[in-house]
Amino acid sequence: MPEISRFFGIVIAMYHNDHMPPHFHARYGEYRAKFDIETGKVIEGKMPRRAMALVQEWCSLHLEELRVDWQLAQERQAPNKIEPLE
């Protein structure tokens, strides 16, 4: 899984040539979820409320970078690393 960020035990990744809508994957312990890049909402899976809020905050802070990474992934290029939430 191409990891693009990691913070507070949460791993964020984006797969090459993944399907629409633009999204990223988040992993926290045994929890897995896909988040819509534009809305920050969970598309599939689930996370504890606190972890989900952290992912959504991170998403809103890095929206443009996530859009760029999505485009890179669609072109089968390695996505860029994105600063973690601090």
* Residue in the block written with tokens 């809508």: 21
Beta bridge partners of 3: 13
Question: How does residue 19 score in pLDDT terms, banded at 50, 70 and 90?
Answer: confident
Q: What is the pLDDT of residues 24-76, one digit of tens each?
A: 999 999 999 999 999 999 999 999 999 999 999 999 999 999 999 999 999 99
Is 6 strand, coil or helix? strand
